[in-house]
Each structure stands twice: as C-alpha cells, then as structure tokens.
Structure 1
C-alpha cells in the first residue's frame, strides 16, 4: 500500500469516526451537531483518495457504528419513557390513596357527628321527675309512660327489662326478706331520698334514682342489664 493510500485510509477512518460522532450528537441533542455534520460531509470527500475496496470497508464500518449508536439512543429513549411512565403511575396511585383516606376520614367524622347529634336529641327530649304532676296513686301504664319520657330511647328496652324483673312496675313493691323497696328494689329504699323526699310515693322520683344509679355504676341501663343477665342482680 502506498503512503498516499495509507494516508487516505487513515483520513477516511477519521472521517467515519467524525460521522459517527455526528450521529451521537444528534441522538443526545448536542448543540454542536450541525458543525459536526458539516465537518463529516467535508471529510467524506477524502474517501476519493482510498482504493474502492478499502472505501467499502470504511463505509461498512461507519454504517455499523452508526447503527450501534442509533440502537443505544433508542434504548436510552425507551428507558427514559418507561421511567417517566412509572413516575406518573406512582404519583397517580399516591393521589388516589390520599383521596381515599380523606374520604374515609370524612365519612367517619360525619357518622360520629350524626351519632352525637342523635344522642343529644334523645337526651334533650327526656323529662325530669319534677315535671310530672304528683298523684295519689299510679297505674303501671302511667309509670311506664313517665319512664319513657325520662329514659333515652336507645336505653329503654334495657331499663324496662330490669324493672320487669325487679318489681313488675310496682312502685310500692317490698321484698319481705330484705326490705328492698320500689321499682328497682333499692336496699335500703331510703337511699332513693338522695333525689327526692317523696321516694316512697312518687314513681318519677324512683325512676330518676334508678336511672342515675345505672348510669353511674354501669355506664347506662344497657350496661346494667348486661350485668343483670350474668348475675341476676345489679
């Protein structure tokens, strides 16, 4: 091979590298890509100094390198797109979870507020013992009507069950063995005087005492009824 042809081959090889560099610049968005492309176009004229067989080898090598560069650029682009899609999916999932948690918290708060409002309404509707007219005697129906007006609606069944078992709604019932007295068989009966001196003759006073007792000792009439069922006393 002559010096000229060797020189030509070297220049052509450099030209091929320059062309490949231009492709790399295009794939990576280099700002110098136009200059590289112009330089590559100029240098390609030097291929004329190389024999035809060697030109083919140089061109083949150049095209192979260009294909490799394009494949690398395509892989990088695909990877970038996949990472971006994964980021967007993760962000969307996080937003959906946050919204679901906020909705659940809001629903729980609303349910709590409704429950508190219902309980308040139930308690505000009850009457005090002093609001009933005093009578010389009372029927069971009258006593139960008084109790319904004083006991919260959600506690009525439990309250009624206890009175049914203790005195059958007889406000003057006396236990012959122990002396327990009244609707709730208080022992001694005089302890009901804490809410009214007419505890012996006024069912409303007894109801007030019995309701206070159940709330203070068991939390509610239903708490007292649960205990009664397990022990047959309260």
Structure 2
C-alpha cells in the first residue's frame, strides 16, 4: 500500500485507514472472493468497478495493481480513505 501511495503522491498518513478498509473487505487476501457477488481482491471490486478501472488491461491478480486501483477508487468516490472508512462504519460496505 505504501508503494501505491508514494506513486500517487498521496500522504503516508493514508496508509492506516486504507489498511483498515482492506482488512475489513478482504483480510489482506488479494485472491478473496465474495460468494454472493462478483466482488474480488483486496478492495473487493465488483466486475463493473474493475471495468471502470482498467478492465482487462489490468492484471487483477497483482496485489500492487489492486492496491493502486483501490486507492484511485477511494479517492474518486470518497476523496480520501478517512471518508471511505466513515461510510463503511455507517453502512458496513463502501
């Protein structure tokens, strides 16, 4: 996660809340799959979300690429991981 933060030029303080999100979503398992949906990977991207973040041009089995795309998703949808965690706390998903 720290590599994706550095590459994106984002503050290292974001690492802790991002790790908390990933712990809740996939327990840090890049191969995690939700048995009741298409959610998969560290950030539990749905098929539609993966499509919006590179689709087949991304190696979704690569944890670094999952972390980079997950960070971008958090920024795009919530602005920062603190807001994403706050949403997760309220809704039990993000």
- Category of TM-score, reference length = shorter chain: 0.7 to 0.9
Structure 1 equivalent of residue 38 of structure 2: 179
Q: Superposed, which structure 2 residues align to 1:70-219 within 5 Å?
A: 147-151=1-5, 152-188=11-47, 190-191=50-51, 194=54, 196-199=57-60, 201-219=61-79
Of structures 1 and 2, the one scoring higher in RCO (CA 8 A, sep 6+) is 2
User: For structure 2, which runs of at least 5 residues remain unmatched after alignment?
Assistant: 6-10
Helix, strand or coil for the counterpart of 1:169?
Answer: coil
- Structure 1 residues 184, 192: closer, same or farther in 2, change over 3 A? farther
Gaps of 5+ in 1: 1-146
Aligned twin of 1:226:
86
Q: With structure 2 as the length reference, what TM-score do the two structures score?
A: 0.82
CA apart distance, 1:227: 0.8
Deviation at 1:157, TM superposition (A): 1.0
CA contact (8 A) 1:186 1:192 kept: no
Which structure is higher in helix share?
1
Q: Deviation digits for residues 88-145 of structure 1, max 9, x if unmatched?
A: xxxxxxxxxxxxxxxxxxxxxxxxxxxxxxxxxxxxxxxxxxxxxxxxxxxxxxxxxx
Moved over 4 A (4+): none
Q: CA RMSD in A?
A: 1.8
Pick closer, same or farther for the CA change 1:224–1:193 going to 2, 3 Å.
Answer: closer
Offset from partner CA, 1:53-95 (integer Å, 9 cap, x none): xxxxxxxxxxxxxxxxxxxxxxxxxxxxxxxxxxxxxxxxxxx
Q: Check the 8 A contact 1:183/1:206 in 2, yes or no.
A: yes
Q: Please state how far the C-alpha of 1:185 moved relative to its aligned partner.
A: 0.7
